[in-house]
DNA sequence: CCTCACGATGATAGCGCTATCATCGGTGGA
DNA sequence: TCCACCGATGATAGCGCTATCATCGTGAGG
């Protein structure tokens, strides 16, 4: 027979004319382990999944064989056979936005102990992109999804529901009682800033915001609402859909000062904008907060170290990621959550800049 | 014939007592599409993979059926059957380090057009973690890996080579002629900073560095080498393995000033440290660069906006990601690269702080 | 002693897809 | 006219794993 040496199998020495094994990857399979340990493949599978199902003796033999062969389970095969991928998808607007970094850390810390892997998808703040990502995720047969924000097209949500793929929203609280969400009220956070500004006696507030995602806009609404409630109905605002950055913060502040040089406080949509605004003030010699107060949002790590330190709204980003992931995993395991909506709150951290 | 109904090959609705179909996911499969389009599953597969293999007529029927059923291919099955996962793994020390954000963007932009997905693994600067991640990746049958840094245990590299899984190193240039790498010389970059300091006539330089990964240490060596070459053999350094951050930059600077208040320039291992150092100087009223000059590394977006703007080494992070991914994809397709090592260089961007 | 429940293990049959080869009408050169 | 040849399509057989059921002692209960 001409087909010798094709399958590189040394042990199985009977049947010299063994079938040619059409396609083999060359890596050790569960069958190889089983053969070496002289047990059935099922016993190997059980040993690896739940050792208590197997007697000590067989377990030891299997583990030895696994070690000897350097066996690594083929996850695609596991997924196909068990209809569980042990992958969860995470949709964030942008990983370059430091805000999500801690959320991702929380997610990772929660799911990694449970043996799950994470696939991150970036929407770059585009709803279309988000749609497409979620569709790809369905192809991967992921076990669940964490989505930033609560503004998901209803049909997409229903698509997941129909397929029984759990989905948890992060960062904001969903008004839909059926939706699972972990976060804090973006509206209330904006409101808190507005109230603070009123309390402190600032008279001519301004709002600078970039990357106008739904959460930013909700904070804006809350901000507006608080001012109106205090009878201070008007405020200046400069908005741009561009992605936020320190540089952009400087530009926005310049535009603001050009149009309204008499502002006495700016609420910046996030800390990057706030830092950029602060730098611009320094460059122009404008005293902060003496002449112009600055407030940020999220309380990124640098906010407390800036000079002056930046007053900002501290958000539980790590905790949101962790709890959302936790809720998702429980949902995957079919455990209903106690509450569908977990509010982790926020608090305004008062520092030197306002 | 007693064996009817074996392959469930009729309309799904007759035979109320159809066999129970042991485990079904409920989602449309390629067989469903084939049935609806009245073609064989293979034709569906071909239509989706390479439409030119199929006549216009069948193609249309298949596409119509796909649309009607909302068919989404099961990637686990594809992976298992074809031994190709269309996933590449990326190993970075930490996604919270903004340095890697742009590299990831470059990678994503390169691979997404080719239909690949990315799985990100974080080593958190631990070699053990890195090892384990790479092993998991093998389990996923990924098609290739991008690894940050060139300091990979030889046996891990060989493991990949044995399995024919391409691997490309990023951010530094490998001395090993067989290894593929895209980046710049970390040593040379450190050297450039050292030379600049000498040229500018600074006399008492210091080095502040955190998170002492191999690349940081190579920059340090280059820095040292440049100073020695200029006969200025000694410099003060404060090193810590802690993860770098703006806050840490301030702390390190405080420690430096406590021990060596007469330093005239600090080279910070990265821009976060530099920014923290700058803030600390502002807090203490130390003129920068008048009394103390500050240099950073990487030229993160904020560096040019700080006041004073921060002199830093600009590194082609996006381009490194893009090119490394490109090289990896070609390698996956079996195309040998022209050069195994691509040096994308760096340049020192001189600003106000030094 | 025999049944029966039960825990440990094995045998069997897919999961949904694609590699591979077989089949089947044309085509064109000998 | 015949046949090697080719392009389009289908049939078959896995990829490596696990769900499910069968089997086989074993010890409790009758």
Q: What is the pLDDT along chain B (354 residues), one digit of tens a residue?
A: 333 322 223 333 333 333 344 556 678 999 999 999 999 999 999 999 999 999 999 999 999 999 999 899 999 999 999 988 889 999 998 888 888 989 999 999 999 888 888 888 888 888 888 887 887 776 777 899 999 999 888 878 887 887 788 999 999 999 999 999 999 999 999 999 999 999 999 999 999 999 899 999 999 999 999 999 998 878 999 999 999 999 999 999 999 999 999 999 999 999 999 999 999 999 999 999 999 999 999 999 999 999 999 999 999 999 999 999 999 999 998 888 999 999 999 999 999 999
- What six digits make up the tokens of B178? 């067989």
Check CB contact under 8 Å for B119 and A122. Answer: no
Footprint of strand D on the protein (CB under 7 A): A 19, 21-25, 27, 29-31, 41-42, 45, 48-49, 71, 73-74, 77-78, 80-82, 84; B 22-23, 39-43, 46, 53-55, 57-58, 77, 80-81, 83
Closest nucleotide C1' to the C-alpha of B78: C17
The answer to whether the beta carbons of residues B315 and B190 sit under 8 Å apart is: no
Burial A298-327 (b: 16+ CB within 10 A, else e): bbbbbbbbbbbbbbbbbbbbbbbbbbbbbb
Interchain CB contact of A19 with B (< 8 Å): no
Rg (CA), chain B: 28
Q: Which residue among A73, A74, A140 sits closest to B75, beta carbon to beta carbon? A: A140
- Measure B42 CA to D11 C1' (Å): 10
Between A127-139 and A154-162, two packed helices, what is the crossing angle to 10 degrees? 10
d(CA B339, CA A3): 38
Q: At which residue do the structure tokens 């611009």 appear?
A: A280
Q: At which residue do the structure tokens 């535009």 appear?
A: A255
Q: What is the pLDDT of residue A135?
A: 75
- What six digits make up the tokens of A174? 């969903």
The pLDDT-based confidence of A10 (bands split at 50, 70, 90) is very low
Q: What CA dihedral angle connects A205, A206, A211 and A213, to 10 degrees? A: 40
- Measure A349 CA to C15 C1' (Å): 53
Question: ∠ CA(A87), CA(B79), CA(B10), 5° rounding?
Answer: 100
**B chain contacts of residue A75, beta-carbon cutoff 8 Å:** 139-141
**A chain contacts of residue B77, beta-carbon cutoff 8 Å:** 76, 80
CB pairs < 8 Å spanning A and B: 113
Interchain CB contact of B75 with A (< 8 Å): yes
d(CA A270, CA A256): 16
The pLDDT-based confidence of A23 (bands split at 50, 70, 90) is low
- Measure A279 CA to D30 C1' (Å): 90
The pLDDT-based confidence of A345 (bands split at 50, 70, 90) is very high
The answer to whether the beta carbons of residues A169 and A186 sit under 8 Å apart is: no
Smallest CA-to-CA distance from B282 within A70, A282, A35 is with: A282
d(CA B118, CA B111): 8
d(CA B166, CA A27): 16
Hey, of A28, A75, A274, which one would you mutate to test binding to chain B, going by the most B CBs within 10 A of its CB?
A: A75
The pLDDT-based confidence of A161 (bands split at 50, 70, 90) is confident
Smallest CA-to-CA distance from B267 within B173, B204, B345 is with: B204
Q: Which residue among A79, A95, A105 sits closest to B76, beta carbon to beta carbon? A: A79
Q: What is the pLDDT of residue B158?
A: 81
The answer to whether the beta carbons of residues B206 and B265 sit under 8 Å apart is: yes
Cβ within 8 Å of residue A220, ≥6 positions away: A190, A207, A209, A237, A269
Q: What is the pLDDT of residue A24?
A: 60
**B chain contacts of residue A294, beta-carbon cutoff 8 Å:** none
The answer to whether the beta carbons of residues B263 and B256 sit under 8 Å apart is: yes
Interchain CB contact of A247 with B (< 8 Å): yes
Condensed to tens digits (0 to 9), the pLDDT of residues A175-205 reads 999 999 999 999 999 999 999 999 999 999 9
Cβ within 8 Å of residue B325, ≥6 positions away: B88, B106, B107, B110, B111, B146, B168
pLDDT at A5 over 60: no
Q: What is the pLDDT of residue B24?
A: 61
Instruction: Give B323-327 contacts, CB < 8 A, sequence gap 24+.
Output: B323/B106, B323/B110, B323/B182, B324/B106, B324/B107, B324/B146, B324/B168, B324/B169, B324/B170, B324/B182, B324/B183, B325/B88, B325/B106, B325/B107, B325/B110, B325/B111, B325/B146, B325/B168, B326/B110, B327/B168, B327/B180, B327/B182
Q: At which residue do the structure tokens 């530099």 appear?
A: B274
pLDDT at A98 over 90: no
Hey, of B87, B305, B353, which one would you mutate to test binding to chain A, going by the most A CBs within 10 A of its CB?
A: B305
Cβ within 8 Å of residue A278, ≥6 positions away: A249, A288, A294, A306, A308, A310, A353
Helix (H) or strand (E) holding B240: strand B236-240
Interval A339-348 mean pLDDT: 97
Q: What is the pLDDT of residue A25?
A: 66
Higher pLDDT, A152 or B14: A152
User: Concatenated DSSP letters for B47-92?
Assistant: HHH-GGGS-HHHHHHHHHHHHHHT----HHHHHHHHS---EEEEEE
Q: What is the pLDDT of residue A16?
A: 33
- Measure B314 CA to C12 C1' (Å): 62
Q: What is the pLDDT of residue B5?
A: 28
Q: What is the pLDDT of residue A53?
A: 94
- Measure A9 CA to D13 C1' (Å): 20
Interval A118-140 mean pLDDT: 80
**A chain contacts of residue B250, beta-carbon cutoff 8 Å:** 305
How near does any CA of chain B get to the CA of A26, in Å? 8
Please state, in angstroms and as integers, the Cα–Cα distance from residue A154 to each residue in A157, A177, A238, B278, following that order: 5, 14, 31, 48
Footprint of strand C on the protein (CB under 7 A): A 22-23, 39-43, 46, 53-55, 57-58, 77, 80-81, 83; B 21-25, 27, 29-31, 41-42, 45, 48-49, 71, 73-74, 77-78, 80-82, 84
How near does any CA of chain A get to the CA of B12, in Å? 19
Question: Nearest residue to D20 (CA, C1')?
Answer: B22
Smallest CA-to-CA distance from B12 within B29, B1, B3 is with: B29
Interchain CB contact of B73 with A (< 8 Å): yes
The answer to whether the beta carbons of residues A305 and B246 sit under 8 Å apart is: yes
| Sign of the Cα pseudo-torsion (B146, B151, B155, B158, in order) | positive
- Measure A34 CA to D26 C1' (Å): 26
Helix (H) or strand (E) holding B236: strand B236-240
Interchain CB contact of A246 with B (< 8 Å): yes
The answer to whether the beta carbons of residues B172 and B201 sit under 8 Å apart is: no
Check CB contact under 8 Å for B138 and A72. Answer: yes
Q: At which residue do the structure tokens 């742009």 appear?
A: B102
Higher pLDDT, B160 or A50: A50
**B chain contacts of residue A135, beta-carbon cutoff 8 Å:** 72
Interchain CB contact of B129 with A (< 8 Å): no
pLDDT at A7 over 70: no
- Mark the nucleotides of strand D covered by protein, meaning any atom under 7 Å from a CB: 8-20
Condensed to tens digits (0 to 9), the pLDDT of residues B205-248 reads 999 999 899 999 999 999 999 999 998 878 999 999 999 999 99
Cβ within 8 Å of residue B167, ≥6 positions away: B144, B145, B146, B147, B152, B157, B160, B161, B179, B180, B328
Cβ within 8 Å of residue A82, ≥6 positions away: none
Burial B104-140 (b: 16+ CB within 10 A, else e): bbbbbebbeeeebbbbbbbbbbeeeebbebbebbbbb
Interchain CB contact of A75 with B (< 8 Å): yes
pLDDT at A27 over 50: yes
- Mark the nucleotides of strand C covered by protein, meaning any atom under 7 Å from a CB: 8-20
| Chain B stretch 273-302, residues whose beta carbon is closer than 8 A to a beta carbon of chain A | 275-276, 279, 282-283, 301-302
Check CB contact under 8 Å for B117 and A120. Answer: no
Smallest CA-to-CA distance from B192 within B225, B235, B216 is with: B225
- In sequence order, what are the beta bridge partners of A236? A206
Check CB contact under 8 Å for B245 and A138. Answer: no
User: Concatenated DSSP letters for B253-305?
Assistant: HHHHHHH-TT--EEEESSHHHHHHHHHHHHHHT--TTTT-EEE-SB--GGGGT
- In sequence order, what are the beta bridge partners of A183? A171, A343
Maximal CA-CA distance, chain A: 94
Q: What are phi and psi of B326, to 5 degrees?
A: -60, -45
Domains belonging to chain A, first-starting first, are: 1-73 (1.10.260.40), 85-184+318-346 (3.40.50.2300), 186-314 (3.40.50.2300)
- Measure B34 CA to C27 C1' (Å): 30
Cβ within 8 Å of residue B28, ≥6 positions away: B69, B70, B71, B72
How near does any CA of chain B get to the CA of A7, in Å? 15
Q: Which chain B residue lies closest to A250 (C-alpha atoms)?
A: B305
- What six digits make up the tokens of B197? 């300091």
d(CA A348, CA A263): 21
Between A75-82 and B75-82, two packed helices, what is the crossing angle to 10 degrees? 130
The pLDDT-based confidence of A18 (bands split at 50, 70, 90) is very low
pLDDT at A112 over 70: yes
Question: Nearest residue to D12 (CA, C1')?
Answer: B42
**A chain contacts of residue B136, beta-carbon cutoff 8 Å:** 117
Please state, in angstroms and as integers, the Cα–Cα distance from residue B345 to each residue in B175, B327, B342, following that order: 16, 17, 9
């Amino acid at each position: 027979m001409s087909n010798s040496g094709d399958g590189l199998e040394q042990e199985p020495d009977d049947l010299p004319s063994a079938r040619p094994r059409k396609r083999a990857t060359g890596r050790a399979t569960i069958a190889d382990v089983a053969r070496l340990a002289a047990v059935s493949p099922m016993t190997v599978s059980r040993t690896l999944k739940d050792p208590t199902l197997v007697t000590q003796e067989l377990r030891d033999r299997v583990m030895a064989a696994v070690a000897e062969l350097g066996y690594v389970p083929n996850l695609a095969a596991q997924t196909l056979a068990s209809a569980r991928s042990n992958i969860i998808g995470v949709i964030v607007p942008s990983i370059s936005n430091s805000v999500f970094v801690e959320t991702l850390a929380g997610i990772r810390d929660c799911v990694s102990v449970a043996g799950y892997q994470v696939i991150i998808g970036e929407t770059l703040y585009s709803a279309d992109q988000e749609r497409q990502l979620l569709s790809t995720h369905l192809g991967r047969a992921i076990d669940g999804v964490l989505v930033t924000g609560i503004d998901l097209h209803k049909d997409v949500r229903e698509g997941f529901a129909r397929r029984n793929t759990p989905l948890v929203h992060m960062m904001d609280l969903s008004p839909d009682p059926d939706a699972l969400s972990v976060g804090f009220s973006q509206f209330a956070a904006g409101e808190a800033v507005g109230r603070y500004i009123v309390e402190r006696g600032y008279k001519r507030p301004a709002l600078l915001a970039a990357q106008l995602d739904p959460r930013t806009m909700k904070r804006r609404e809350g901000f507006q609402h608080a001012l109106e409630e205090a009878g201070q109905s008007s405020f200046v605002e400069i908005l741009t859909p561009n992605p936020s950055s320190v540089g952009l913060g400087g530009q926005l502040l310049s535009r603001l000062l050009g149009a309204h040089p008499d502002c006495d406080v700016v609420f910046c949509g996030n800390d990057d904008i706030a830092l950029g605004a602060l730098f611009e003030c320094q460059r122009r010699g404008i005293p902060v907060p003496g002449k112009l107060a600055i407030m940020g949002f999220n309380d990124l790590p640098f906010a407390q170290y800036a000079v002056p330190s930046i007053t900002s709204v501290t958000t539980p980003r790590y905790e949101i990621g962790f709890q959302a992931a936790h809720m998702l995993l429980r949902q995957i395991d079919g455990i209903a959550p106690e509450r569908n909506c977990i509010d982790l709150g926020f608090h305004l951290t008062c520092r030197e800049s306002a």
